[in-house]
Amino acid sequence: MAITRRSFLKIAGGSALASATWQGFGCDIWKSAARRNPDIKVIPTQCQGCGANRCAVFAYVRNGRVWKIEGNPEANNNLGTVCPRGHGYIHELYDPHRIKQPLKRNESGGYEPISWEQAFSEISTQLNLIMMDNGPQSVFWLHYPMANAALGFRFMHSLGSPNIFSHGSTCFTARNAAFNATCGGLPGVDLKNSRYTIIVGRNPSGGIKLQQMKDLTYAKENGGKIVVVDPRHSETAIIADEWLPVKPGTDLALILAMLNVIIEEGLYDKDFVKKNTVGFDRLQDEIIAYPPEWAEKVCDIPKDTIYRVARELAANKPTALVHRGYHGGYGASYKNSFQTARAIAIINAVIGNYERKGGLYMPLRPELGELKEGGHPSPDIPQIPKADGSGIPGRYPAGSYSDGITHAIPELALSGELKAGIVYHSNPARTNPNPQRVIAGYKKLDLLVVIDCIMSETASMAHYVLPESFYLERDDNVDTVHSAKTGQLTMVQQVVKPLHDTKNLLEIISGLAQGVGIGRYFTFSLDDLNGYRLKPFGITLAELKEKGLISVGEPWKEGFRKAATPSGKIEIYSEKLDKWGVDPLPRWQEPLVTPDTADPHSFRLLHGKQALQTNSMTVHIPILMEASKRTDSVRLLMNRQRAAAIGLEDGDTVRLRSQIGSGNIRVRLTDGLHPSAVWLPSGFGIFSRHLTAVYGMGISYNDFCPTYFDPVVGHCMSSEIIVRVEKA
């Protein structure tokens, strides 16, 4: 391991000293003095430095300038903290890269500023022509699903198109579909109270979720054990009691073997299994095929470790859990990711931890009020199947209507099925696999409109670019993202007036709606909409704006009642999957590709989050990029022994080649990585020529990833990449 216990203690000791000195400066006194300063306004809002967590924060404004944000201590997702990306992201407000007015592409490929009126009029004229010739389903909408996602659905449903997409097929759709099939939704994890936590391919310290890190450290301080299963010694592994360096793509074998031990040795929760699950007996029949003796040869974790960890997990039941994961391990990574996630949902059921303290629970999402109750009827859902085949038996049966398959868009554009698209808060040219193919597809569209704050790779291809006001400049939709064991309402609230000629999403959509004949669906203001959303709780918009966060509803109570599955129980065996021709029980399945063991240059290419950057959206922010440079993090991790075998030294530049792409990067050698893989931080590889300061900085795993669709949900299998690595 790269980090020995001694060196870890040294680091930990060092930072304790640093924070003691910081306290000595009287930082808290300074902070409370700042709060009392009448020149300083403190306005609650919601950070948008990543779409995933949307932390509730307080923005500090002096002389009309925002200079910092602080975390809201009551917020479930961040518990008073802000991550480096959140601190860095406020600088985008004043960033010269921002789009300052609507832009139209000219003949020579450059952009010219136009008025909003001209943009709305020309875009709607072109949409009308395209829909007249090809039908409304030839128009698609792609968004990062934020609090305002319902507006995109409303717009598309009013037009009559079902072709709405999120980035899910590149992030989480395997996991979501598996938990939906098993327990009818995506549970939360009570890490704080768990006595024994196994985290498989999730890294809340680098793929940041602040509340989870706080909960993990709390549990650890109180004697809980943490086991991290990751081919890489991740930032979360640093605080774990145990790191299991699994062979990438084989977690399914590990979980099946743990199920084997727990079931064969009778360590499961018999009462819970009997009352609340279906199909346990069929799992019991099949699981004998997967003993730890078999699994160790597949996943590289010794059989004795598998026996011990399985027994320890069961011994702590039901106050124990296997994390529900997110992206890296099985969100959209491998051909077997759907079944890996199913096995993880099932192992939690077998130890009876659903709706138990220290286990899994369904977050208490408050039911927001709807526009239709305010006299604004919803458009009908179009009775046309989605063009990508998601949710259609025989194609991608477990795919979801609301996420779709985002990386199918370029294929559907190339085939002529999709003709026009609006992309909101998403950057598929950089975040989808196989960029050459993505660019070819998006370029073939007759009309591409991108709504962003900067000239992303995708915006740089658009016919029209519409600038949304930055989050600190706008109000947005009331949000429930913080809901966990309590329901919580938050919102993005305007902190300063827009600096440029920009609008919020509702204003942009309403502007387009008039010209395409669906204006009657958009006759409300954002304040109206938020008022309807809040109505069921008897809370006014003014109250929410003042407090920034309000908890609503009854708090969570222990006790499993009913799952939102066809049987009302947790489905260990799934009839529905069987009907679709998908394995109804998790069974071992190889990943799609395997490195060539005879070739010392052959590796699997893995990727992952780094604490300083978000997806493709922050690298151009100078303070964050500077931090990445100072920590020298634009590097490819490689196992030290494997590097030695091909004559590489730390810092050497290597050339990576896959079946679809190539690129150069410096290596960082480590003992903390499974020898079969190399690992790339996922924020770099920016190729928008408009982002001059970071153009060409680093490479992205997408440059190497072929266009794949897994057969169950159509996700992109972003870790099924083999690369040859040679000294450049």
Which residues form the interface with ligand MGD (CB under 6 A)? Answer: 48, 50-52, 85, 144, 167, 170-171, 200-203, 206-208, 229-232, 234, 246, 248-249, 251, 326-329, 333, 424-428, 430-431, 451-454, 456, 468, 471, 606, 608-609, 611, 613-617, 682-683, 700, 702, 719
Q: Does the footprint of Mo ion cover residue 481 (CB under 5 A)?
A: no
The DSSP bridge pattern shows strands 164-165 and 447-452 to be unpaired
Q: For ligand MGD, which is the closer residue by CB, 505 or 725?
A: 505
Number of shown-chain residues binding Mo ion (CB under 5 A)? 2
Residue closest to ligand MGD (Cβ): 328
Q: For ligand MGD, which is the closer residue by CB, 552 or 617?
A: 617
| Nearest distance from C-beta of residue 173 to Mo ion, angstroms | 10
Q: For ligand MGD, which is the closer residue by CB, 502 or 565?
A: 502
Q: Report what 456 binds from ligand MGD, Mo ion, none; CB cut-off 5-8 Å by kind.
A: ligand MGD
Q: Look up residue 324 and give its amino acid.
A: R
Q: Report what 246 binds from Mo ion, ligand MGD, none; CB cut-off 5-8 Å by kind.
A: ligand MGD
Q: Report what 197 binds from ligand MGD, Mo ion, none; CB cut-off 5-8 Å by kind.
A: none
Q: Is 130 left (phi over 0), alpha (psi -120 to 50) or beta?
A: alpha
Q: For ligand MGD, which is the closer residue by CB, 609 or 642?
A: 609
Q: For ligand MGD, which is the closer residue by CB, 246 or 273?
A: 246
If one counts every other C-beta atom within 10 angstroms of the C-beta of residue 622, the result is 15
Can you spell out the DSSP letters for 537-602?
GT--HHHHHHHSEEEESPPP-S-----SSTTSSEESS-HHHHHTTS-SS------S----TT-TTE
Distance from the Cα of residue 486 to its chain's centroid: 22
| Nearest distance from C-beta of residue 637 to ligand MGD, angstroms | 9
| Nearest distance from C-beta of residue 86 to Mo ion, angstroms | 16
CB 239 within 8 A of CB 212: no
Q: In sequence order, what are the residues at sequence separation of 6 or more whose Cβ sits closer than 8 angstroms to the Cβ of residue 66?
A: 59, 60, 90, 93, 472, 495, 496
Judged by CB under 5 A, the stretch of 170-178, 258-266, 387-395, 447-455 that binds Mo ion is 170-178
Q: Report what 390 binds from ligand MGD, Mo ion, none; CB cut-off 5-8 Å by kind.
A: none
Q: Report what 329 binds from ligand MGD, Mo ion, none; CB cut-off 5-8 Å by kind.
A: ligand MGD
Q: For Mo ion, which is the closer residue by CB, 97 or 327?
A: 327
Q: Which two tokens stand for residue 382?
A: 């179009």
Q: For ligand MGD, which is the closer residue by CB, 552 or 643?
A: 643
Q: For ligand MGD, which is the closer residue by CB, 287 or 423?
A: 423
| Nearest distance from C-beta of residue 327 to Mo ion, angstroms | 5
Q: For ligand MGD, which is the closer residue by CB, 162 or 608?
A: 608
| Nearest distance from C-beta of residue 495 to Mo ion, angstroms | 26
Of 325, 316, 329, 321, give the one whose Cα is nearest residue 349: 321
Q: In sequence order, what are the residues at sequence separation of 6 or more whose Cβ sits closer than 8 angstroms to the Cβ of residue 652?
A: 666, 667, 727, 728
Residue closest to Mo ion (Cβ): 171
Tell which positions 312-341 bind Mo ion, by CB under 5 A: 327
Query: Residue 318: is the preceding peptide bond cis (ω within 30°)?
Result: yes
Tell which positions 505-524 bind Mo ion, by CB under 5 A: none
Q: Does the footprint of Mo ion cover residue 171 (CB under 5 A)?
A: yes
Q: Which two tokens stand for residue 192?
A: 């704080």
Judged by CB under 5 A, the stretch of 10-18, 125-133, 171-179, 334-342 that binds Mo ion is 171-179
Q: Report what 159 binds from Mo ion, ligand MGD, none; CB cut-off 5-8 Å by kind.
A: none
CB 295 within 8 A of CB 301: yes
Q: For Mo ion, which is the closer residue by CB, 192 or 327?
A: 327
User: In 3-state terms, what secondary structure has residue 162?
Assistant: coil
CB 147 within 8 A of CB 365: no
How far the first Cα of the chain sits from its last, in Å, is: 27
The residue to which tokens 């498989």 are assigned: 200
Q: In sequence order, what are the residues at sequence separation of 6 or more whose Cβ sits closer than 8 angstroms to the Cβ of residue 367?
A: 536
d(CA 654, CA 386): 42
Q: Does the footprint of Mo ion cover residue 716 (CB under 5 A)?
A: no
CA pseudo-torsion sign 633, 638, 641, 642: negative
CA pseudo-torsion sign 149, 150, 154, 156: positive
| Nearest distance from C-beta of residue 256 to ligand MGD, angstroms | 14
If one counts every other C-beta atom within 10 angstroms of the C-beta of residue 6, the result is 7
| Nearest distance from C-beta of residue 614 to Mo ion, angstroms | 9
- Residue 104's Cβ-side half-sphere holds a number of Cα atoms within 13 Å equal to 13
The enclosing H or E element of 152 equals helix 149-159
Q: For ligand MGD, which is the closer residue by CB, 366 or 608?
A: 608
| Nearest distance from C-beta of residue 133 to ligand MGD, angstroms | 28
Q: For ligand MGD, which is the closer residue by CB, 225 or 620?
A: 620
| Nearest distance from C-beta of residue 609 to Mo ion, angstroms | 9
| Nearest distance from C-beta of residue 613 to ligand MGD, angstroms | 6
| Nearest distance from C-beta of residue 244 to ligand MGD, angstroms | 8
Q: Residue 144 to residues 52, 170, 404: CA-CA distances in angstroms?
A: 9, 11, 12
User: Where on the chain is the footprint of Mo ion (CB under 5 A)?
Assistant: 171, 327
